[in-house]
Amino acid sequence: MRTPLVAGNWKMNGSRETIKELINGVVEGAKVLNGIDIAVCPSAIHIADVTEVTAGSNVAVGSQHACIELKGAFTGETSIDMIKEFGCQYAIVGHSERRTIYGETDEMVAKKFAVVKKTGMIPIFCIGETLEEREANITEKVCAHQIDVVFALEGDNAFEGAVIAYEPVWAIGTGKTASPEQAQAVHAFIRQHIAERNADIAEKVQILYGGSMNPMNAKELMDQKDIDGGLIGGASLKHEDFLVICQAAQVSI
Ligand code: PGA
C-alpha cells in the first residue's frame, strides 16, 4: 500500500504576510491528519519563513525550482544545496510551466532530477501531454519519452525515492480536470512503464495527479487505484481547500 502525498504548488503567489497565514493554517489543520504525506512548495524567497513554521510538524516543504548546476556563476539561480540547507525535502522538477515558459527540455529536466536525487532530496517529477498531443492520441508516447530520458541518465532504478506527478498540460490552471478514468488510464500506463525496468520500484512509487484538482473532485480522483495523491496549484492557496484535499487523500487509503 502506498502512502498518499498531497503537495501544494504555490507558484509565484503571496506576500510574506499572506504566506505566513497560509502555512499557519495548513500546519494547524494538518495536526489531525495522519497516514498521508503533506508538502507545500513556496516560492524560493518564502522557504525560510515557511520552514520556520513547519519545523516539528507533519508538513514538509519543497522547492518549485532549482538550478541545474551545483554552484558558481549563475546569476539569479538558487542551488539545490541552498534549498536543502533551508529545510526542504522535496523539489519539483519539470513542471510544464518551466518547460513551456522557460524552455526546459526533457534533457535539462532529467539532469535536474539527477541533481535533486544526489542531494538526498525527493524530486517531484512532472510529466504530461498538451491538448494537441492528447488529441493526436500520443499521450502515452509523450509521457514514456519524458520518463525514458530520466532512465537513460539515471538507469533502471531512477525512480527509487522519487515522486512522479502526471499533469496534463491542458488541465493546469484551466479548471478542466482529467476525468478519473482518463487520469487512471495514464497513471496505470506510467506505472507499467516503470515496471518494465523495475517492478518493485513501480509498485512503490507515488504517482500524483495534477491539473485543477480541487475539494470537489479530489476524492473521486484519489479513489483510483494508481492515483496516489495530488499536486495542487490554485486550490492550495486557501488552507481550507487544501486541507479538504488532504482529508480526501486520507480516506482514500
Ligand atoms: P492547478 O495547478 O491545480 O492550478 O491546475 C497544478 C500544478 O500546476 O501543479
**CATH assignment at residue 117:** 3.20.20.70
- The pTM (predicted TM-score) of the whole model is 0.97
pLDDT at 177 over 90: no
Residue 32's Cβ-side half-sphere holds a number of Cα atoms within 13 Å equal to 7
Taking CA atoms only, the protein residue closest to ligand 1 atom 3 is: 233
The pLDDT value recorded for residue 77 is 96
| Ligand 1 neighbour 51 (Cβ under 6 A) | no
The best mutation among 217, 231, 244 to test binding of ligand 1, ranked by most ligand atoms within 8 Å of the C-beta, falls on 231
- Catalytic center residues: 95, 167
Q: Which set of grid coordinates corresponds to residue 37?
A: 504525506
- Cβ atoms 29, 215 nearer than 8 A: no
19 confidence band (pLDDT: 50, 70, 90) = very high
The pLDDT value recorded for residue 178 is 87
20 confidence band (pLDDT: 50, 70, 90) = very high
Count of domains for the chain: 1
Q: Which domain holds residue 28?
A: 5-251
The best mutation among 6, 64, 99, 167 to test binding of ligand 1, ranked by most ligand atoms within 8 Å of the C-beta, falls on 167
The pLDDT value recorded for residue 182 is 95
- Cβ atoms 236, 192 nearer than 8 A: no
pLDDT at 164 over 90: yes
| Ligand 1 neighbour 173 (Cβ under 6 A) | yes
What phi and psi, each to the nearest 5 degrees, are found at residue 119? -80, -5
Residue with the bigger pLDDT between 1 and 131: it is 131
pLDDT at 1 over 90: no
Cα–Cα distance for residue pair 77/74, rounded to 1 Å: 6
The pLDDT value recorded for residue 253 is 78
- Cβ atoms 29, 22 nearer than 8 A: no
The pLDDT value recorded for residue 40 is 98
CA of 236 to the centre of ligand 1 (A): 9
pLDDT, the chain, mean: 96
Task: For residue 12, give the nearest of 40, 39, 44 by alpha carbon.
Answer: 44
| Ligand 1 neighbour 234 (Cβ under 6 A) | yes
Cα–Cα distance for residue pair 97/38, rounded to 1 Å: 22
| Range from 123-127, 175-179, 198-202 carrying the lowest mean pLDDT | 175-179
| Ligand 1 neighbour 218 (Cβ under 6 A) | no
* pLDDT, average across residues 54-64: 98
pLDDT at 252 over 90: no
CA of 233 to the centre of ligand 1 (A): 4
| Ligand 1 neighbour 167 (Cβ under 6 A) | yes
List pLDDT tens digits, range 74-111: 999 999 999 999 999 999 999 999 999 999 999 999 99
The pLDDT value recorded for residue 153 is 97
| Ligand 1 neighbour 91 (Cβ under 6 A) | no
> Given the CA of residue 165, which atom of ligand 1 is nearest to it?
9
> Given the CA of residue 234, which atom of ligand 1 is nearest to it?
4
